[in-house]
Amino acid sequence: MFRRKYDLLALVWAMTMTVEFARCQLIRPLSVYEGLIKDMHDYFNNTCIILLHTNTNPIETQGLAEGDGLLHLQRHFSLKFNIRVVFMDFHMFNTRKKRFDCLQVGQSYHHIKRPLFVLLNSHEDTRNEFANQVSTWIAMAYPTWLVFFEDGLELADFFLDIYIPFDCKFMVAQSSANVSGREIITEVYQVDREKELRSNQFGVWDMGKGLKGPETRSLYFRRNDLYGQNIRVASIHDPPVSLFHHNLRNEITRISGFFGEVILLLQEGMNCTFTYKEAKTWGTCLSNGTCTGAIGMLMNNEVDFAASEFMMTSDRLGVISFTTPIYTTKCRTYIKKPASSNVKWNAYTAPFSANTWNVIAFFIVIMSGSIVLVQKLFALATPCPDDDRLPTRFTEILFYVIGAFCSQGMEQSSLDPVRIVHFVIHITAVIILAAYSASLISFLASKKFVMPFTTMDGLLKDGTYRFGVVGDSADYSFFQNTSDKILNVLFDELLMKETNLPINYMDGLERVCKEDKYAFMTLDNMAAILRDKVDCDLEPLDAITQITIAMALRPNSPYRGIINTNLLLLRDSGILQRLLETQWSVHLTVRKSSWKSVEIGDIVPLLLLMIAALFASCAANIVEHVVYKSFLKQKQLRINKR
């Protein structure tokens, strides 16, 4: 009997403690939880809700009241609004984080889009569980957070030793002291670890009107001030788009060039300070997991931000973060144009096509035949002794007509039909000569360079060129990791043989000019700005691929959002485009003199023709002289025999 009474008292005590504990877990009426959580879910467009509490097993070990409240919330969101909802205690959340089908945390939980985490109360055990088991391993900025505060609890007391990143959406709901059923929503964050906790009123929620949020929905329009936070910036000496300036102690004081101008505008817009470090290279990641250059500095937390042109490649996305794209461009290979063009053997026949030359020759023959025919007809009809001095043979007239086409005169005839033919010949010759002269001048003046090859396949098949890219950069990794067969062979046969690759684009283009048959891959933008700074003419091959250029940040950097917001503001206001134009387009408009002199190679065919004509005339003169001497000798012999 005594045993039964003892068991009954123990059961009543346990049920009383369960009800008391349940009341402590749900510190607001269910209607407040239902309305506020639903409105926050809609405002941030979350995809699922995770209700976190400290009860290990609220139904079996803590009684029905606690479990009934949580189950009611789950049913409310799931059945009424079709929202995925999970409630679990912190211990289960921590131990099952890798198997939880709604939230796969660790390195791969980001496949869940915009989850909403809700802390049902702010008790000390809730606060400790959150601080020790959740905030230490989870990426705080990825989910949206909502915690319900007890009356009188200070923000600094709850968030003591808890780091809320600058880009974290962490909301605190506090009951209004004046109006029942009203919640004051405050968002909290820190600029950096060990910095003071900052808070802004996010909005007000009440039972009747729901949530009234901030006037601007943009997080970084509300958090647009870093309060002088120091951001460590790395850059590469890559003139002229990024150049370092040092003080007397050889410390880097600022960066000039395009990226220097951009980060100065970012510094002004974000109210922060920059300290600079120099990276020798852009950097690549090795097979052992380590990275070099600026990428290695970002991974090792030596710097926060890398202000230089970084290609957005898939292998880099796994180790660093990128800003919003700055610009897009193409990468291609450049070679040096030879100093002089080849001899144009067809220079004096190319102005007219073969059909045109045939028509001109046919016209000369027809006109010559016409003159002979007219003279023969008039000679039969009315012999004219005055025209005995005029040529009558076809060959003689043919030479006269050819001379007319070379701007030579013709013997004037007294026959009107012949004069008409002469007039037609001279008019035609003037027109043809004018057209020929204009075409010949343009042909000789235009320097047409015939590329030895135009593709990377042609470069590989040529076999006489060396090939280089910027060492320890994405350019090198592109060829190293490519799936293109031609580029893969080019990497193995040419690029792997280069033991001393250029350190930047300027160095590479200078090698193209200094070394014989050296090909170098660069960005079109960089080639445009640097081609006037090298002492040779550069010829591009076909584009290899189109790439996107951005700046780089530490993985999961809290400043990525505010940097991107300011970059988008610079882009939308036209300032970024103006910087691009002043840094690149100006150099494109600076052109060398358009005057093109005719080189000796262009007149070699004419000189050879003149020399050949001179030798031919001399040979003809000698033959004629020999024949004439022989004729005189034979004539003298005949006279002597008589």
pLDDT < 70 positions in the chain: 1-24, 55-67, 96-111, 339-345, 347, 379-391, 445-449, 584-603, 642
Number of independent structural domains in the chain: 2
Same domain, residue pair 73 and 216: yes
CA 223 to chain centre: 30
Q: What angle, rounded to 10 degrees, do the helices at 354-381 and 394-405 form?
A: 130
Q: Encoding tokens for residue 604? A: 């070699």
Write down the pLDDT at residue 558: 94
* Assigned domain for 411 exists: yes
Q: Which residues contact 312 (CB under 8 A, 6 or more apart)?
A: 322, 325, 547, 548, 549, 550
In a domain, 618, yes or no: no
Q: Among 115, 263, 268, 140, which Cα is nearest to 193's?
A: 140
pLDDT tens figures, 318-341: 899 999 999 999 999 999 987 655
Residue 177 lies in a domain: yes
**CA R_g for the chain:** 45
Q: Is 60 inside any structural domain?
A: yes
CATH code at position 163 = 3.40.50.2300
Q: Which of 177, 171, 168 is nearest to 119 (CA)?
A: 171
d(CA 599, CA 344) in angstroms, rounded, equals 11
Question: CB of 295 within 8 A of CB of 316?
Answer: yes
The predicted pLDDT at position 383 comes to: 56
For strand 545-553 and strand 321-322, is the pairing parallel, antiparallel, or unpaired?
A: antiparallel
Range of the domain at 419: 354-383+391-445
Q: Of the candidates 222, 247, 265, which is a domain's last residue?
A: 222
How buried is residue 141: exposed, middle or buried, by Cβ count under 10 Å (0-12/13-18/19+)? buried
Residue 467 inside a domain? The answer is no
Structure tokens at 568: 């988008």
Residue-level pLDDT at 66: 62
Q: Residue 66 carries which side chain, given as an amino acid letter?
A: E
15 within domain boundaries: no
Strand-pairing partners, residue 102, are: none
Q: Who's near 199: CB < 8 A, 6+ residues apart? A: 155, 172, 186, 187, 188, 189
C-alpha span between 81 and 71 (Å, rounded) = 15
Q: For residues 52 and 198, state if they share a domain.
A: yes
Q: What residues have CB less than 8 Å from 545, skipping those under 6 apart?
A: 330, 331, 478
Asked if residue 575 belongs to a domain, the reply is: no
- Domain boundary among the residues 168, 193, 222 is at 222
Last residue of a domain, one of 193, 222, 251: 222
Same domain, 359 and 212: no
Give a yes or no: residue 517 inside a domain: no
pLDDT of residue 212: 94
Specify the 3-state DSSP secondary structure of 275.
strand
Cα→Cα distances 64→23, 34, 288, 626, Å: 12, 20, 54, 137
Q: Helix H segments across 131-276?
A: 155-158, 219-222, 258-270
Number of alpha carbons in the 13 Å side-chain half-sphere of residue 584: 16
